[in-house]
Amino acid sequence: MNRKIAVALLLALIFIFAMGHPLTLYMIQENIVLLFVVFALMMAGLLLLVAFVLFQEGLRLGFQRLKAKLLRIAWFRGRQSARPEAGGRLSLRH
């Protein structure tokens, strides 16, 4: 809703400026094209920003999963080495 109001206000300001000065229809069209070019550049920048944030979040989640797997493997290996030897005796060697 706020975006529609902002666009309508910006268009109104462009047309008020165009009416206040003796401009041709070609100059009004240039102003509208400039408005759309600025809008497209802003959307491209925002899209790149969102893509970067999502990529960063994906990397963070991937590293967390890798860390959890490595910790689980290390824990499992530690449990295997702490088992008593085959004779039923506890080993004093670590």
Statement: residue 1 has pLDDT above 80: no
Which tokens go with 20?
């206040």
Note whether 84 and 91 are within 8 A (CB): yes
pLDDT digits (tens, 9 = 90+) for 33-91: 888 999 999 999 999 999 999 999 999 999 999 998 888 888 777 666 655 555 555 55
**Average pLDDT of the segment spanning 5-24:** 74
Tokens of 83: 């088992």
Q: What are the sequence ranges of the domains in the chain?
A: 2-81
Asked if 34 and 42 touch (Cβ cutoff 8 Å), the reply is no
